[in-house]
A and B are shown apart, each in its own frame.
Chain A
Amino acid sequence: MHPVLGLDHLVAMVGVGLWGAFIGMPAIWLLPIIFPLVMALGGVLGIAGVPLPQVETWIAASAVAIGICVALAVRPPIWVAALIVGAFAVFHGHAHGTELPAASNPLAYALGFVIATGLLHLSGIAIGYLTRWDWGRLLVRGGGFAIAAVGFAYLSGQV
């Protein structure tokens, strides 16, 4: 439940799905594949005790950056989008990986957070399909602003 209950994680994950849907093919499936794979590498760093600077700050920053990309309907080349999402995924994975050793059933924990993360992506993609309609595009871009606002609130220490 951690990715769902942590608001900063939640909005960033939904944002990845939204952005993928906004960019269209192949980002719609590529981003939700890249994210868990790179997140796992970040998780390995966390498990190994390799320190990363300001992990929580970068997680909040991911919500700001991805939210702004959605809000401004940014459509970069796919490799740029993959790079951005992958870079943030390292920090999300590191945060989860650091907590993993304390879990009573590591595989259940790992499966749980990977699947929860993936389902949040899929939620974002589902919402992102609203972009087929003009009103839907406005709604999704508004969602991007909301995601960025949540991320900013975490960054500024308001949450």
Chain B
Amino acid sequence: MIGSGWLIVPGTCAFAVIRPSPVAAHAPIEGLGTFYSYFLHPIIVPETALLVAGTALLLGQQGRTAARMGVGGIAIGLVTGLSVIGFWPTLSVDQRFVLAAAATVGGALCADRTLPQVIPTLLAFATGAVVSLDPDLATFPRRDAWLGAAGLAAGTLLFTIIVSGLSTGSQRPWLLIGRRIAGAWIVAAAILVLALAAKAAA
């Protein structure tokens, strides 16, 4: 599926980091506080949830070693992204890119092929970087910005660890099938919204 190219991963990373785009605000949840609002960010923002869930399932599909390396990759990606947003607060990731990345990950899940170990790790890195490029963080006072960054990193890591752990922990047939079906759902949803965005842009 993405056999030709692990070049896709660094390429998309570079695209995500370099491309400036309008700020896509994610309103914090009232009364929840900055830390927990951002802790839930990877789950409650649908585009991000698709990408993180797809990446975590893919890490689990690739086995324990890939899952461990991937969690490390996503952690480094989060730190990288949060550092970048600290220096360039106007940078953000176009949600179409997030959906395209989610569709790629979903396609890899559907294909259910063993990938070279570097690919899931780089995908995890890219996911961490994309998720953490949230320009809203730069608008907060210093303390809230740190709290938000910590919440975002903790939530994304925890979500990834839980989903990839559950996905890795069992080789039951229904789980193997379920992962592929989840991949198909992710691809289908992402393609539809991308098509809609393309129509709106035309």
Contacts and interface: CB of A to CB of B under 8 A. Distances in A.
Contacts, number: 76
Contacts of A118: 181, 184-185
A140 interface: no
A115 interface: yes
Decide if the interface of chain A is mainly helix, strand, loop or mixed: helix
A97 B198 CA distance: 14
B177 interface: yes
B23 interface: no
Chain B interface size, as a band, is: 20 to 34
Interface in A16-40: 28-29, 32-37, 39-40
B7 interface: no
Given A29-B181, A44-B195, A110-B193, 20 more contacts: A28-B177, A32-B181, A35-B184, A36-B184, A36-B188, A43-B188, A43-B195, A47-B199, A96-B192, A100-B196, A106-B196, A107-B47, A107-B99, A110-B188, A110-B189, A110-B192, A111-B185, A118-B184, A121-B181, A122-B181
Interface residues of A, number: 30
Contacts of A97: 192, 195
B94 to A, nearest CB: 14
